Amino acid sequence: MTVQANNDHGKSWVLKDEFRLKKKGVGRGLHQSSVICSTVGHLVDAGVTMEYGKNYEGHWTGEHFVNQLRNKIIPEFERAHGPGYQALFLIDNSQGHSAYAEDALVVSRMNVKPGGKQAHMRNGWYISNGEKFTQSMVYPHDHADHPNAPKGIKAYLRDHCDYTFDTLKANLPIALASVPIRSIRLWEHWMFRWMEAYRSGLDTRNAQLQVKQFSSRHYKSHRKVPEGLASTFDSVV
């Protein structure tokens, strides 16, 4: 949550023919990231307070949240409950939802060319014919041109695709065989929904809306979850 020094209700009592002197802005503010536990209440020592703004401590980011989770929230939870317990965290913060590890395999963090300002990602991997192969995302330390530098998208594509028709023919069945059976069944059910929508006489737009009702879960509020989902969490606990 965020609070500002001048964030009042905008109403006050003044004498007749006088006017309230309003502040020019909301004033300096604080961002508070706290944890409330359903068993022991507010975990005070797990919280983080920062004075936000570009002239102060900056703004709350996913990196701040990950650091808080590792160094404050989890240790404080373990101190409060003792060993042998697992925590289910419900995060009411958009930056926390989109947080990734520094070396996560996220293509949007890659440059087209090697080096430069881009993430040093951990190794990736893939399975072919039952064998697991490791894919390095960083050049080795003895590379002639880019020692210890991230490869970038262009180099990665060169390593795994030579843009020939023979390679395309070889990779196509491998790609098809790599699709999990669960994904195939989900797509099959999705197509049945489309067929049912068109059979009922709906046009494209209304058919899409009907299919979306079955294929998507809508949580209108980011501050609460539906009763059914909450009951599921309670039954697990």
Here the contacts of 135-141 (C-beta below 8 Å, separation 24 or greater) are 135/159, 135/160, 137/105, 139/114
What does DSSP assign to residue 121? P
Instruction: Domain ranges for the chain, please list them.
Output: 2-97, 107-178
Q: What is the pLDDT of residue 129?
A: 78
Phi and psi (nearest 5°) for 94? -65, -35
**Of residues 193 and 26, which shows the higher confidence score?**
193
What does 18-83 look like in DSSP terms, one character per residue? ------SS--SEEEEE--EETTTEE-GGG-EEEEEBTTTTB---HHHHHHHIIIIIHHHHHHHH-T
Q: What is the separation, in whole angstroms, between the first and last Cα of the chain?
A: 27
pLDDT digits (tens, 9 = 90+) for 39-76: 888 888 888 888 877 677 777 777 888 888 889 999 99
> Using alpha carbons only, what angle is made at residue 56 by residues 69 and 70, rounded to the nearest 5 degrees?
10
d(CA 1, CA 72): 18
115 pLDDT above the threshold of 70: yes
pLDDT digits (tens, 9 = 90+) for 141-181: 888 888 888 877 767 666 666 666 677 677 667 766 777 78
pTM for the predicted model, two decimal places: 0.42
